[in-house]
Structure 1
């Protein structure tokens, strides 16, 4: 999943290491508590600036029309917010599974905002970009801020965390989980007691969506069962991906080679600092803010 061309910008995956639903707003959005950590694997984007204000995605993504793609929407949001006359051709190398709970679309949008802010010289701060990103998706701000984080609200109230950075074996069950179906399920827990960061570090790391997803999607349940033979299995977000942490990379890779037929996966390192932000600093995009 590495791209050698230095023009390409990283759009890293994330994991939700826990997910608690503590309420629901009047507009229907669920109030969450979750922990985000990045992975050293993800999508890649290349941006070729234009001087005619046209924004185009020049790569084909099966099942995602250009008009619906978050990278195009992100570019247009930044263009409109800054009144720039610049345009761009965007090439997206899609590596992460769509609908996997790994934040691929949100990460792609965040990378678009961060990279074009530099390329177009629109000079927004990181916090200003995060506010723009929130309109595109609740997970976008954490990718822009670029640090592993405790999140509340709908996922946008962030407190940076220093976490262990283990190796993760991530499994991709052969199905598609509907986030809308999970959040509308009558059996979903929506009133978990509010917890603290100290509670999380003491070991409280459940995902309130896991019982519903396991019941609705047998392939996810089977992946959790298989992985549970070797480690503590978890669900990221509403899935579809499940994962477990390992201190030893070699053990994770050995298990990857022993996956049951029909189950795919990969091994990646957990990161507390996003590769996107490291790249932005290399480009002297910002020093703070």
Structure 2
């Protein structure tokens, strides 16, 4: 994607993708003294995505327009806050009008807001010709949310710490069914629950390395992981709490199971997903659910827009 001219005047970037992610698993391995939870996960990019248009404003104003969002976004959503953070970090005096085409459902555990913020940072870095590298953008993104640096680094990754330790990994091309019920869940409420398991044993990437014999010799293949091992030997520690708070999570998982698929919640929910090894047709689902078949992506479509 390259800048084009709007009416021969203002530079514009059109249709910038902001892909969602799935957490193939999510283990809570401890808690820091400041209350932040330590986690392990594999964050995987998928092709369910929002898109963003950016128009340059010479007057320094940051404005945003919602296109297709089912629910109104706050005036200072993550896109606006990302633009403001980038200007503050660089001293840039230019502005932008942000048009957000929202398709990723909210309160789904799919990182939609964080991905939008990351795409805004990447796009505005180019629109304003700032020349920041990937690490500089990720540092700004971390101020906005723990998931934002993942989307800026732009690779499916093994994630640790509070979300800031990111190691790129590879997975085989695969298809997934993603199901989102109408209701959402409060991430804060889930993490605050006394019922949340916070002591899952720490795993290693080596134990999920892929090779023909299924042995740890797969480390020779560097960061290529075994998808089936990831899905069968792991879990989502947040899922039981989310199921108690939102019964529809269980209903979605049961529906996927009825289709011969193994469902699991992503992130803090309430979306659930299942690996779909074949393309057989799915049965009918309750009204109001969003059901979409997606493919995983090795690399963010804008990964080549910044270096470092």
TM-score (normalised: structure 2): 0.85
Q: Distance in 2 between matches of 1:64 and 1:262?
A: 20
8 Å contact kept, 1:43–1:94? yes
Q: Distance in 2 between matches of 1:97 and 1:59?
A: 14
1:55 alignment counterpart: 62
8 Å contact kept, 2:13–2:55? no
In the alignment, structure 2 segments of 5+ residues that lack a partner are 1-11, 209-225
Q: Distance in 2 between matches of 1:83 and 1:22?
A: 39
Larger Rg: 2
8 Å contact kept, 1:147–1:273? yes
2:296 alignment counterpart: 270
Q: Distance in 1 between matches of 2:246 and 2:65?
A: 35
Tell me the alpha carbon deviations over residues 182-205 of structure 1, each in whole angstroms, 9 at most, x when there is no partner: 111111001111111133444422
Q: 3-state SS of the aligned residue for 2:129?
A: coil
Q: Distance in 2 between matches of 1:226 and 1:189?
A: 25
2:244 alignment counterpart: 215
**Cα RMSD over matched residues?**
1.6
8 Å contact kept, 1:40–1:275? no
In the alignment, structure 1 segments of 5+ residues that lack a partner are none
Tell me the alpha carbon deviations over residues 6-46 of structure 1, each in whole angstroms, 9 at most, x when there is no partner: 71100001000010001111221111101011111210100
Q: 3-state SS of the aligned residue for 2:30?
A: strand
Q: Is residue 2:239 matched to residue 1:237? A: no
Q: 1:184 aligns with which of 180, 192, 208?
A: 192
Q: 1:66 aligns with which of 68, 75, 79?
A: 75
Q: Is residue 2:237 matched to residue 1:228? A: no
Matched ranges for 1:1-289 at <5 A:
7-59=14-66, 61=69, 62-67=71-76, 69-200=77-208, 201=226, 202-203=229-230, 204-229=233-258, 230-248=260-278, 250-251=279-280, 254-255=281-282, 258-277=284-303, 281=304, 285-286=305-306, 288-289=307-308
Q: 3-state SS of the aligned residue for 1:151?
A: strand
The more displaced of 9-18 and 55-64 is 55-64
Q: 3-state SS of the aligned residue for 1:52?
A: coil
Question: How has the CA–CA distance of structure 1 residues 206 and 199 changed in structure 2, closer, same or farther, with 3 Å as cutoff?
Answer: farther
Q: Distance in 2 between matches of 1:30 and 1:63?
A: 30
Q: Distance in 2 between matches of 1:157 and 1:169?
A: 28
